Amino acid sequence: MRLRTLLDLPDLKLELLSGEPELDRPIQSVMTTDLPDPSRYLHGGELVLTGMIWRRSPDDSALFVKALADAGVCALAAGDGSSGEIPDDLRTACHGRGLPLLRVPADIAFATVTEEVVRRLSPVRADDVTDFLGRHRHLVSASVAAEGDGLAAVLDLVRQQLSMRCWVISPTGQEVAANAPPLPEDVKAQALRHYLSGKRIPYPLPAQAMSVLSAGDPTQPRVVNWLLICDSDVTQWEPQHHQLARELTALVEAEHRRLDSTRQARRAAACDLVQMITADADPTELAYQLKHTGLPADGTLVVVAAQLAGGLARPVLEDLLGRLPAAVAVLDQTAFAIVAGDPEQVRQAIDQAVNLAPALANSPLRIGVSGTATGAPGLRGALDEARHACAMAGMSRECVTIIGEDELTSHVMLLAAVPDGVRRAFRDRLLGPLLEYDRVHRADLVPTLRAFLAYSGSWTKCAEVLHVHVNTLRYRIQRIEQLTGRDLGKLDSRVDLFLALALAGNP
């Protein structure tokens, strides 16, 4: 089938915008995509249909068209399902690459074009191919027709047409959409562990007869991509099911991108809010900005601070707090969330961050949660609390550490406020001689000191726990005092050594 023939079909009402000299190009297949770079799915000769969800700026058109032209596609047919207008930058990019550009009217579904092309390419079709195309048409139509609820409509149709249950899950374990009751927690945890540990996808879960598929941009870390779980074993799928799965995951990714796009304006307002808080803005101005971001000016608020390498703290907080009224912004490499609601609910939502641990072995996530603030006047104090708590979390060796209001009353809060260099110098000056002695003599002075302080200097209890004679314990304590220059019979010396051990972390 040639491109000229497609344009001559009156029912499709396609309009040629550029590329008239190329009308004799043959169409070998058809593909619908809204990926920014779909080249890995292209083989050449395709008619590519797109709703332009990938376009966030004029520069995106050039990148998208380059990927199509380099892959040797036949033509590009574009339409947004509403106005039907095609941006000038897309026209220019297609003209520059010699790629024919067609406009799909707003009243013509992509599925209609797809089915007509496939029908003409394959006059004789088996019943299973007919079924597949019908399902494909329903999937695409549902996604285009129901903005904001398209994903739920797509999954409902998968259940109706294939009797297959599906769950779209975020990396923190939030259920984004589903066509069945919630997954059991153990099954969800198993799927998340496999996905986030970087193992190969798709992956079957044989014990549950389920499969885990990635539904995100492969160029992005998995901690910010959604995954798709189906109650069907991927190893038993026929080729047409794999094709349908690819289309379904592409639609899920498109919905994720749409959601991210809707958050852009809110992020700008949130950034202004955080900057005003740190600048000690007038409470009246803060109250106005809170309302502008969709938060109550006189309600209960909690501030959350998070740090994660690669600029990933913001999307992680947005995922964790997606079901709560929250404004998330980044300031000085720390993501802050101003959250309205019950503090217990906020903490429960934040605690789901532990699900990310398998992906964070080399890049730990640190989160600090403030106490409650009532309205604008309390926000500066709450933000400082969250920031200090986040700094406290930075002292942990765990992949995910969350420090909340209760921990803020600890001595560790004071340590977190001390500069790193000062903390290291204090720790090394007091514990360095003990660590070196233990290394050279294979002794246990540091564990002995830790136990002695833990049992408040009780000789009998400490010796019992260490399984040594009291005289042996006394000898060790004397050696510790000689090496550190501290008298463990005095409170101030015990405090100094206790803080040094706290800075050294758990053994």
In CATH, what number is assigned to the domain containing residue 425? 1.10.10.2840
The band of 396, judged by pLDDT with boundaries at 50, 70 and 90, is: confident
Which pLDDT score is estimated for 338?
A: 96
| Cα distance between residue 113 and residue 104, in whole Å | 9
| Cα distance between residue 82 and residue 145, in whole Å | 10
| Cα distance between residue 59 and residue 55, in whole Å | 8
**What are the structure tokens assigned to 319, written together?**
């995922």
- Higher-pLDDT residue of 119 and 75 is 75
Same domain, 310 and 426: no
Which pLDDT score is estimated for 221?
A: 86
**What are the structure tokens assigned to 504, written together?**
């050294």
Quote the DSSP letter at residue 354: G
Same domain, 411 and 268: yes
Same domain, 352 and 274: yes
> To the nearest whole percent, how much of the chain has pLDDT over 90?
37
Residue 30: beta bridge partners?
A: 47
Same domain, 346 and 205: no
- Structural domain includes residue 128: no
From 129, 135, 131, 127, select the one nearest 111 (Cα to Cα). Answer: 135
Same domain, 273 and 376: yes
pLDDT of 125 over the 60 cut: no
The band of 15, judged by pLDDT with boundaries at 50, 70 and 90, is: very high
Same domain, 185 and 256: yes
Q: What is the DSSP string of 11-28?
A: TT--EEEE-GGGTTPBP-
Same domain, 11 and 153: no
Which pLDDT score is estimated for 150?
A: 63
Which pLDDT score is estimated for 276?
A: 93
Which pLDDT score is estimated for 315?
A: 92
pLDDT of 249 over the 60 cut: yes
264-278 and 283-292 are packed helices; what angle lies between their axes, rounded to 10 degrees? 170
**Mean pLDDT of the 306-330 span:** 92
Considering only 141-145, 329-333, 342-346, 430-434, which range has the smallest mean pLDDT? Answer: 141-145
pLDDT of 159 over the 50 cut: yes
- Structural domain includes residue 131: no
The band of 417, judged by pLDDT with boundaries at 50, 70 and 90, is: low
Which of 243, 262, 281 terminates a domain? The answer is 262
Element holding 475 (H helix, E strand)? helix 470-484
- Residue-wise pLDDT tens digits, 426-466: 888 899 999 999 999 999 999 999 999 989 899 999 999 99
User: What is the count of structural domains for the chain?
Assistant: 4
**What are the structure tokens assigned to 265, written together?**
């304006």
* Distances in whole angstroms, Cα of residue 206 to Cα of each of 166, 234, 249, 451: 16, 10, 21, 47
pLDDT of 399 over the 50 cut: yes
| Cα distance between residue 50 and residue 38, in whole Å | 11
Which pLDDT score is estimated for 133?
A: 40
Quote the DSSP letter at residue 184: P
Question: Residue 351, Cβ neighbours under 10 Å: how many?
Answer: 16
- Structural domain includes residue 134: no
Same domain, 257 and 268: no
- Structural domain includes residue 471: yes
- Structural domain includes residue 127: no
Which pLDDT score is estimated for 142?
A: 53
Quote the DSSP letter at residue 167: E
Which pLDDT score is estimated for 163?
A: 67
Cβ(494)–Cβ(454) under 8 Å? no
- Structural domain includes residue 66: yes
**Mean pLDDT of the 362-369 span:** 90
Which pLDDT score is estimated for 126?
A: 33
Interior CA angle at 483 toward 478 and 486, to 5°? 70
Which pLDDT score is estimated for 161?
A: 65
- Structural domain includes residue 132: no
Considering only 9-13, 254-258, 408-412, which range has the smallest mean pLDDT? Answer: 408-412
Which of 386, 415, 444 terminates a domain? The answer is 415
* Distances in whole angstroms, Cα of residue 33 to Cα of each of 77, 94, 135, 146: 11, 17, 16, 17
Same domain, 271 and 381: yes
pLDDT of 124 over the 70 cut: no
- Residue-wise pLDDT tens digits, 64-106: 999 999 999 999 999 886 777 899 999 999 999 999 999 999 8
Same domain, 471 and 408: no
| Chain mean pLDDT for the chain | 84
Which pLDDT score is estimated for 9?
A: 84
The band of 250, judged by pLDDT with boundaries at 50, 70 and 90, is: confident
Residue 72: beta bridge partners?
A: none
Which of 228, 262, 296 terminates a domain? The answer is 262
CATH of the domain at 16: 3.40.1390.20
Across 125-134, 307-316, 392-401, which has the greatest mean pLDDT? 307-316
**Mean pLDDT of the 335-354 span:** 91
**Mean pLDDT of the 249-277 span:** 84
Phi first, then psi: give them for residue 28, nearest 5 degrees.
-100, -25
Same domain, 59 and 102: yes
The band of 408, judged by pLDDT with boundaries at 50, 70 and 90, is: low
202: preceding bond cis by omega (within 30 degrees): yes
- Higher-pLDDT residue of 129 and 311 is 311
CATH of the domain at 277: 3.30.70
- Higher-pLDDT residue of 160 and 436 is 436
pLDDT of 350 over the 50 cut: yes
Cβ(306)–Cβ(248) under 8 Å? no
Q: Give the per-residue SS3 of 226-277.
A: CEEEECCCHHHCCHHHHHHHHHHHHHHHHHHHHHHHHCHHHHHHHHHHHHHH
CATH of the domain at 201: 3.30.450.40
**Mean pLDDT of the 478-496 span:** 92
- Structural domain includes residue 125: no
Domain that holds residue 39: 3-117
Same domain, 368 and 301: yes
The one-letter amino acid code at 382 reads A
Rg (CA), the chain: 30
Which pLDDT score is estimated for 131?
A: 54
**What are the structure tokens assigned to 463, written together?**
């010796």
